[in-house]
Amino acid sequence: MLNHNGTVPKSIFLAAAIAFALSNAVTASDSVGANATKQPNVILMMADDLGYGDLSCYGSETIKTPVLDKLASEGVRLTSFYAGCTVCTPSRMALLTGAYPARVGWRGGVVGYGVKTVNGLAPEALTIAEVFKSAGYATALCGKWHLGDAPSMLPMNQGFDSAYYITKSNNQTKKLYRGSELIQDAFDNRRLTEQFTAEAIQLIEANRAGPFFIYLPFTAPHFPAQAHPDWKGQSKLGAYGDVVEELDSRIGQILKTLSDHKLDEDTIVIFTSDNGPEPGQKEWARATPYRGLKWSSLEGGNRVPCIIRWPAVIPDGRVIDEVTAAIDLLPTLAHACGIELAKITTGSPKIDGVNVWNTLIAKPDNHHARTDLLYWHGWGVPQAIRAGDWKLYLDQVKEVPGSSDGPVLVNLAEDPLERTNHSDKHPQKVRSMKELALEQLADIEANSLTLGGPANHRKPEKKRGLWLK
């Protein structure tokens, strides 16, 4: 029996997936080596609108983030890591499904701004929470959801055993929920990071026998940035800096909890951001050394910090500049935790992410799995593709010189500000990258879900960049 869009109903497909995973899951030691003796816990943390240059370990001279700096020194710091998209909702869709957001029906905007709140991530989509739940993990969300307000799209119906959350951004709602229960109206925006951290600590302590998967999408430093009373005036960068420095300190509390319960070596910790700086916060937020803000397909719009730590398994103190993306986290973490994805994904849109585990652990003679990456504008237009150091703009982008006349080819290694057009010098590269983009976009259009929710609220039109038509 199939749904209206030709996919297997989630209730049927997920039951089969759970049975398959429980009977076929291997131990983590089979996947990652003798250092691991059981399936590790996972804590996946994500800031909201934090720019590439907003952490001191990524070059900030005005914001101090000693906790995240130390986390990076104990694990790996990724310098060519891309969020799932350049705005909130599709970025979260990509992170949770391992698929480009267009593959799960997104056509532009965010829930509450361009996407009706009755629409969102389709219930048919397989999420990372369901993948981990199928392998016996306790799964929990604490933070910002922003994937649809309808009951079928809320976290409890997308694989999370527990949820402590706001449905949208902190400027769009004042309601805080636990499961389906409204527990605070209105919440104090200054206290959200504190509250989400306290919830995460309780979850760690309650599930310390493991394994657990905690998804912690903070609201900080999304506007309005309002400092916690204990951090007000503590940074050199106003309320925005105060909020980021509080976030850093709160993450320290989470890491201390792991240490106190001797869970450090049993837990993979990831920290990243959902997109680049919000335009309204550009006075304080930074994507340095890149141009572009949230909504933009320039590097600053969705190249973000990413730090990953697993002591004694992931070598510490390394910087990785290979292209990696949020969509890669689902297959990579599943592999690291001994979860076989091959049959679990049946009935769901195909995963665009790739397993980059061998790169993270510095496996000798490893060939990095990701070779290219598509970029979308926040209103749903596919605008560029990256392959190696080269990025090809396939749409007119006002910040990119020459893009009104044809495709623009830039070399990111030599030109991080994306100002020099090499298309005339490398016409064959332009052709091959354009063909690659067209091939991938055609596959996405042919193998995708529609947004969850009423059909009359969807945006089914296909969007193409100017030079892809």
Along the 469 residues of the chain, how does pLDDT read in single tens digits? Answer: 333 333 444 544 444 444 444 333 333 334 543 345 589 999 999 999 999 999 999 999 999 999 999 999 999 999 999 999 999 999 999 999 999 999 999 999 999 999 999 999 999 999 999 999 999 999 999 999 999 999 999 999 999 999 999 999 999 999 999 999 999 999 999 999 999 999 999 999 999 998 999 999 999 999 999 999 999 999 999 999 999 999 999 999 999 999 999 999 999 999 999 999 999 999 999 999 999 999 999 999 999 999 999 999 999 999 999 999 999 999 999 999 999 988 776 556 789 999 999 999 999 999 999 999 999 999 999 999 999 999 999 999 999 999 999 999 999 999 999 999 999 999 999 999 999 999 999 999 999 999 999 986 545 566 789 999 7
Asked whether the beta carbons of 251 and 68 are under 8 A apart, the reply is yes
Residue with tokens 């830039």: 410
Q: Which CATH superfamily is domain 10-360 in?
A: Alkaline Phosphatase, subunit A (3.40.720.10)
Q: 10 Å Cβ neighbour count for 212?
A: 22
What is the model's pTM? 0.92
At residue 284's C-alpha, the angle toward residues 282 and 285, to 5°, is 65
| Pairing assessment for the beta strands 114-115 and 110-111 based on DSSP bridges | parallel
Domain ranges of the chain: 10-360, 372-468
Res 25: pLDDT: 39
d(CA 140, CA 163): 6
Q: Which amino acid, one-letter code, is at 379?
A: W
Distance CA 109, CA 114 (A): 4
Q: What is the rounded distance in angstroms from the CA atom of residue 458 to the CA atom of residue 460?
A: 6
DSSP code string of 187-207 = --GGGHHHHHHHHHHHHHHHT
Report the chain's terminal Cα–Cα distance, integer Å. 37
Residue 152, SS3 per DSSP:
helix
pLDDT (0 to 100) of residue 34 = 36
Q: Please give the distance of CA 131 from its chain centroid, rounded to a whole number.
A: 16
Do β-strands 41-47 and 267-273 pair in parallel, antiparallel, or remain unpaired?
A: parallel
Who contacts 72 (Cβ-Cβ below 8 Å, separation ≥6)? 57, 307
Copy the structure tokens of residue 78.
């990724």
Query: Is the distance from CB of 144 to CB of 218 less than 8 angstroms?
Result: yes
Would 10-360 and 372-468 be classified into the same CATH topology? no
Residues β-bridged to residue 409: 392
Phi and psi of 165, rounded to 5°? -160, 165
Please report which residue ranges of 315-415 form alpha helices under DSSP H.
329-336, 357-360
Backbone angles phi, psi at 96, to 5 degrees: -80, -20
Q: What is the largest CA-CA distance in the chain?
A: 60
Element (H, E) at 245: helix 238-260
pLDDT at residue 419, rounded to an integer: 96
Name the fold adopted by 372-468: Arylsulfatase, C-terminal domain (3.30.1120)
144 in Cβ contact with 217 (< 8 Å): yes
3-state secondary structure of 406: coil
Beta bridge partners of 139: 213
Local structure of residue 452 (DSSP, 8 states): B
**Sign of the dihedral defined by the CA atoms of residues 231, 235, 239, 245, in that order:** negative
Three-state DSSP class for residue 235 = coil
Judged by phi (left if over 0) then psi (alpha if -120 to 50, else beta), residue 136 lies in left
167: left (phi over 0), alpha (psi -120 to 50) or beta: alpha
Q: How far apart are CA 358 and CA 360, in angstroms?
A: 5
CA distance 368 to 78: 13
pLDDT given at position 350: 87
Instruction: Give how far Cα 329 sits from Cα of 42, 84, 164, 221, 338, Å.
Output: 11, 10, 23, 23, 14
In this structure, how many other beta carbons lie within 10 angstroms of the beta carbon of residue 284? Answer: 21
Separation between Cα atoms, residue 51 and residue 284, nearest integer Å: 10
b/e string for 5-19 if b means 16 or more Cβ within 10 A?
eebbebeebbeebbe
Query: In sequence order, what are the beta bridge partners of 308?
Result: 76, 270
> Omega before 25 cis (within 30°)?
no
Q: What are phi and psi of 141, to 5 degrees?
A: -120, 135
